[in-house]
Chain A
Amino acid sequence: MSTTAPLNVPEIVTLENLRRISRQRALGYGITLMIIGVLEVLWFGGANSSLETTLELGYNSATVMPSIAAGLRVVALLVGLVLLAPVASGRVRALVASRLRFTTGLRGLLAIVGGYLVVWPLALWGGVNHSGALRTMTIPVWTTGYVLGALSIAAGALLAWRRFDRSASPLLLTGMMLFILGFLVWVARGSNVSGLQLQITGILAAAVSAATFLIFGSLSGTLCERSGVVNIAIEGQFMTGAISSVMIVSAMNGSGISKLLGVLVAGLLGALLGWVLAIMSLRYQANQIIVGIVIVAFCTAVTQFLMFQVLDTHENLNGAYALPVWAIPFLSHVPIVGPVLFDQNVLVYVAILGVIIANVALFRTRWGLRVRSVGEKPIASETVGVSVLQMRYSAVILGGFIAGVGGAAFTIGPGTNFTFGMTSGYGYIALAIMIFGRWRPYGALMASLLFGFTIALSANLNIYLSQLVIPQQFISMLPYFITIAAVAGLVGRIRPPAADGVPFSRE
């Protein structure tokens, strides 16, 4: 009998493979950045040198940066520099390290606070203040193009040359955001004359506003799918929440308590729909996607019926009542960030709080551990006495509640009345965001903000229609295209919870 000896082949080092791939990625990203830079120089930098753009940095007295005396400016500048020092230099960090542990969060905080304390006085000295407060800023278009382009090319070249793997994605993302900023500056060119200021704060605030329901929706999706149930009915929960909250608040003439009640009822109806989804998919083990789709169909029909049958004839039931807007003292004066993050309606704060709570709940508590276990391998949870169905019910119903509250963010959040079809597919986009955010609450938050930005962008570019090369419809398609790109995994491969969408039976 013949025997063959195995060939002595050196083992392939898988880590090396991984490195090679990621280095290739860094190269690709770097080249992309450089192309973006060239584009910026040619496109925006090619604008007529006389054209300037006025940026609006704050839109009311609660959100503009107050002007301060020259002496205080110096103090602010110095404090800012001191705060920035440990961020920039490792040596300074080592000096202070005996007292403080420099976590990423602390460094980020120092960078932000210090940065503002430096930029603020510089901006005031630079004379961009307007009637005593930092309200608008006028910049030449072509310079912007050249500056952004040069930055982008430099960063791209560095990335392509040194192949920094870990900073590749953030760099590319920043580059793209700057490109969009440049594009906006270019679109609003001549606004110092026309008076059509580039409402950068307005757009960003609208982005956060639009992100609100996306945060709720993707959070709902995250909770449900972490437990192993695909909640495709978010769209339906949105609709229900939107119409019910507006009806409740309007019926009670927008009194304070009615708004609380409106949000609660919106959530409870969403929870009810979640319960239906849970019953169908858990007890009867029906296909979760079919059940979800049918729930959406049902909600569409019911809201349409209510809209035409009731709201059209009783317009007092469909009023425009807004939830209170809270301007957080001091913070709301920070330029750009202030009005965007700290001068919003209550639901925005609730959403962000919700993300934090959900993150803690999922990753720190008993409930979260059990929910995640049920979504990964339900049979294993069952063998240690965790009730799979109970966990899934709780997650899906809670998810439904969150999505229902998200529905309220369509209507009584910003204070608009209900129109049929106003959810326009954001329930599905929320699911894409959940994937984009890798089934994590913070990921969902970040991705929601990104999507909210594209939505706000496509909605706000209308005023510059005459200067736009692209028809408005195509700009409105942007969020949808980005969603497709997101689910197509252009962001890299992701692993969903293993038991996602799989019905569970013990035997």
Chain B
Amino acid sequence: MSVDVATTKRPPSRLLMLAVRVRRANMFLVLLFALLVGLSVGAIMIIVTTPTLLNSWGSFFSHPGGTISENFNTLWFAYEQIFEGSLVNFHALRVVIDHPSQANLAVVLGPISLTLQYATPLIVAALGLAIGFRSNLFDIGGQGQVIAGGLLAGLIGFSLHLNPLLQISLELVGAMVAGALLASVAGVLKAYTGAHEVIVTMMCNYIMVLFMGYLLITNLYARPGVKDGASKAVTPSGQLPFFFSHLSPNLLVNYGFVIALAMVFVVQWFFNRSKTGFELLMVGQNGEAARTAGINAKRTTIITLCLAGAFCGLAGMLELTGVDHFLSPNFGGSYGFDAITVALLGRNKPWGVFFGAIFFGAMYAGGEAMQAFTPTNIQYSLAQVIQAVVVFCVATPALIIEIFRLTDNERFRASGAAGGWAK
């Protein structure tokens, strides 16, 4: 029995050990706290910008309960709308359980489908940027490259009437080439003149927006008889088919999501297994050593940016042929920055990017629901504020670690020099 006593005499620190382990910073904890901080900042923004809530604080000392409950109810309702608008609507869920029918199922699936639809191009674009980030190249020209991809895919899309498979493949290749070509400008300049890619790609964004603005009023692109800057529509054979169109025309998830998923695997292979992917990593970690080991850093820089551009171009094609089917002057909108932030959120790992993009998609879908359903019409851009704060916390985990007194973990030390401008 003495043996049993010895074994049952557990170290008293078991619970403590658990607590210590829980406090160790890991991705999950950091994300959780980041979300908490994000929602808190969002809450402050709502309170500050909603007059009724702001006024309620005037009576805080006389009726603290009333103030708190009023504020809490508004916030809760807003965040509930975000959740229900992006994932699942509980009311609809009850309805479909009570009355199972295709139409009701479609209503339940609506929010998720919207989320995935928003997420699809983001996944691809952010994967592309993650390739660059791993090599310490900050391609912030996502917007321009998305536009480039969209422009060429659109041209192929509305001027051809081919077999759908062939036409979609053509669009896909065209978009990737267009995006890569645009990004290669930054790559070549970076490699041969040392021009910093952040500035070059940013400038390319503005140039592409203007260029698209020009194209959309030319006969080549403009929809005949319309002067609002909308382009011709992609022919049906060039559109990505929807998955669940038989359920409801509102379910907008299309085969683009499959392409995006495939790209996650491709990038994962690229990072882990391919020679070029490894070289990219090397150049990013220690460019000098890469050069000494016979890796052509210039070539790698150009390839990296081209790949990033190709993915962004593909995102443009997915957006165009999957959702809108025509170009408008604000096509590509905030992709540049969203893709960067998603890549940062996913810490440049393919699956991290995947879920990061879905989180962003959810915030968009939910944000729209919130704007539509809250009494004061809280603007959907609140979702972007929350996103930005979350990304901020994830990009600098040291902050979260310090605020929430987590134990430090080497892995989460933010890394690296930003590098100068000229080289």
Chain A positions within 8 Å of B, measured between CB atoms, are 225, 230, 232, 280-281, 283-291, 293-298, 300-302, 304-306, 308-310, 424-425, 428-429, 431-432, 435, 471, 473-474, 476-477, 480-481, 483-484, 487-490, 493-498, 500-503
Q: Smallest distance from the beta carbon of A11 to chain B beta carbons, Å?
A: 29
Residue B249 CB within 8 A of the other chain: no
Q: Which residue of B lies closest to A495 (CB)?
A: B422
Q: Which residue of A lies closest to B376 (CB)?
A: A309
On whether the beta carbons of B337 and A496 are closer than 8 Å, the reply is no
* Bound complex: CA A49 to CA B206 (Å): 39
Return chain A residues, CB-CB under 8 Å to B204.
480, 484
On whether the beta carbons of B198 and A232 are closer than 8 Å, the reply is yes
* Bound complex: CA A226 to CA B104 (Å): 62
Of B5-13, B119-127, B289-297, B392-400, the one contacting chain A is B392-400
The one of B45, B195, B205, B396 in contact with A487, judged by C-beta atoms closer than 8 angstroms, is B195
Residue B381 CB within 8 A of the other chain: yes
Residue B328 CB within 8 A of the other chain: no
Residue B417 CB within 8 A of the other chain: yes
Q: How many residues of chain B have a CB within 8 Å of chain A? A: 54
The one of A283, A301, A471, A496 in contact with B421, judged by C-beta atoms closer than 8 angstroms, is A496
The one of B195, B211, B388 in contact with A488, judged by C-beta atoms closer than 8 angstroms, is B195
The one of B195, B207, B402, B415 in contact with A480, judged by C-beta atoms closer than 8 angstroms, is B207
Given A286-B398, A309-B379, A425 contacting B211 (CB threshold 8 A): no
The one of A289, A431, A473, A497 in contact with B418, judged by C-beta atoms closer than 8 angstroms, is A289
Produce 1/0 per residue, B179-196, CB < 8 A to A: 000000100010001111
**What are the 4 closest A-B residue pairs judged by CB atoms, nearest first?**
A501-B418, A301-B384, A284-B398, A288-B418
Q: Smallest distance from the beta carbon of A429 to chain B beta carbons, Å?
A: 8
Return chain A residues, CB-CB under 8 Å to B387.
297, 301
- 11 inter-chain pairs at a CB distance below 8 angstroms, sorted by A residue, are A230-B420, A284-B396, A297-B387, A302-B385, A305-B49, A309-B381, A473-B213, A477-B211, A496-B422, A500-B421, A502-B420
* Bound complex: CA A294 to CA B400 (Å): 15
Interface of B is mostly: helix
On whether the beta carbons of B344 and A290 are closer than 8 Å, the reply is yes
Given A286-B395, A473-B213, A298 contacting B418 (CB threshold 8 A): no
* Bound complex: CA A319 to CA B207 (Å): 30
Residue B202 CB within 8 A of the other chain: yes
Q: Smallest distance from the beta carbon of B123 to chain A beta carbons, Å?
A: 18
The one of B206, B207, B379 in contact with A308, judged by C-beta atoms closer than 8 angstroms, is B379
Given A483-B203, A484-B200, A496-B422, A503 contacting B213 (CB threshold 8 A): no
On whether the beta carbons of B396 and A280 are closer than 8 Å, the reply is yes
The one of A297, A306, A484 in contact with B203, judged by C-beta atoms closer than 8 angstroms, is A484
Return chain A residues, CB-CB under 8 Å to B391.
294, 297
Given A477-B210, A501-B420, A294 contacting B203 (CB threshold 8 A): no
On whether the beta carbons of B203 and A425 are closer than 8 Å, the reply is yes
Q: Smallest distance from the beta carbon of A311 to chain B beta carbons, Å?
A: 10
* Bound complex: CA A349 to CA B385 (Å): 35
Q: Smallest distance from the beta carbon of A413 to chain B beta carbons, Å?
A: 22
On whether the beta carbons of A280 and B399 are closer than 8 Å, the reply is yes
Given A298-B389, A305-B384, A501-B417, A477 contacting B396 (CB threshold 8 A): no
Residue B152 CB within 8 A of the other chain: no
Q: Smallest distance from the beta carbon of B306 to chain A beta carbons, Å?
A: 17
On whether the beta carbons of A297 and B207 are closer than 8 Å, the reply is no
* Bound complex: CA A281 to CA B196 (Å): 19
The one of B49, B344, B398 in contact with A306, judged by C-beta atoms closer than 8 angstroms, is B49
Q: Which residue of B lies closest to A300 (CB)?
A: B337
Q: Which residue of B lies closest to A439 (CB)?
A: B421
Return chain A residues, CB-CB under 8 Å to B314.
none
On whether the beta carbons of A489 and B193 are closer than 8 Å, the reply is yes
Residue B317 CB within 8 A of the other chain: no
Return chain A residues, CB-CB under 8 Å to B213.
473
On whether the beta carbons of B206 and A477 are closer than 8 Å, the reply is yes
Interface centre among A297, A432, A473, A480 (most CB of B within 10 A): A297
Residue B225 CB within 8 A of the other chain: no
Return chain A residues, CB-CB under 8 Å to B379.
304-305, 308-309
On whether the beta carbons of B399 and A428 are closer than 8 Å, the reply is no
Q: Smallest distance from the beta carbon of B357 to chain A beta carbons, Å?
A: 15
Q: Smallest distance from the beta carbon of B80 to chain A beta carbons, Å?
A: 19
Residue B140 CB within 8 A of the other chain: yes
Return chain B residues, CB-CB under 8 Å to A232.
198
Return chain B residues, CB-CB under 8 Å to A483.
199, 203
Q: Which residue of B lies closest to A307 (CB)?
A: B381
The one of B195, B198, B334, B399 in contact with A284, judged by C-beta atoms closer than 8 angstroms, is B399
Residue B340 CB within 8 A of the other chain: yes
Given A294-B388, A474-B214, A287 contacting B414 (CB threshold 8 A): yes
Q: Smallest distance from the beta carbon of B232 to chain A beta carbons, Å?
A: 19
Produce 1/0 per residue, B407-423, CB < 8 A to A: 00000011111111110
Q: Smallest distance from the beta carbon of B329 to chain A beta carbons, Å?
A: 11
Q: Smallest distance from the beta carbon of A299 to chain B beta carbons, Å?
A: 8
Q: Smallest distance from the beta carbon of B186 to chain A beta carbons, Å?
A: 9
The one of B49, B207, B210 in contact with A309, judged by C-beta atoms closer than 8 angstroms, is B49
Given A308-B379, A474-B210, A431 contacting B199 (CB threshold 8 A): yes
On whether the beta carbons of A428 and B207 are closer than 8 Å, the reply is no
Residue B138 CB within 8 A of the other chain: yes
Return chain B residues, CB-CB under 8 Å to A496.
420-422
On whether the beta carbons of A293 and B140 are closer than 8 Å, the reply is yes
Q: Smallest distance from the beta carbon of A21 to chain B beta carbons, Å?
A: 17
Return chain A residues, CB-CB under 8 Å to B418.
230, 281, 287-290, 501-502
Q: Smallest distance from the beta carbon of A155 to chain B beta carbons, Å?
A: 28
Q: Which residue of B lies closest to A426 (CB)?
A: B206
* Bound complex: CA A379 to CA B297 (Å): 29
* Bound complex: CA A46 to CA B83 (Å): 67
- Within residues 163 to 191 of chain B, which ones have a CB less than 8 A from any CB in chain A? 185, 189
The one of B210, B392, B396, B417 in contact with A503, judged by C-beta atoms closer than 8 angstroms, is B417
Return chain B residues, CB-CB under 8 Å to A280.
396, 399
Return chain A residues, CB-CB under 8 Å to B337.
293, 296-297, 300
Produce 1/0 per residue, B136-155, CB < 8 A to A: 00101000000000000000
Given A287-B416, A501-B419, A428 contacting B398 (CB threshold 8 A): no
* Bound complex: CA A428 to CA B200 (Å): 9
Residue B382 CB within 8 A of the other chain: yes
Residue B341 CB within 8 A of the other chain: yes
Return chain B residues, CB-CB under 8 Å to A310.
49
Q: Smallest distance from the beta carbon of A497 to chain B beta carbons, Å?
A: 8
Residue B75 CB within 8 A of the other chain: no
Return chain A residues, CB-CB under 8 Å to B189.
484, 487-488
* Bound complex: CA A298 to CA B45 (Å): 13
Return chain B residues, CB-CB under 8 Å to A435.
421-422
* Bound complex: CA A298 to CA B394 (Å): 13
* Bound complex: CA A283 to CA B417 (Å): 14
Residue B378 CB within 8 A of the other chain: yes
* Bound complex: CA A382 to CA B384 (Å): 41
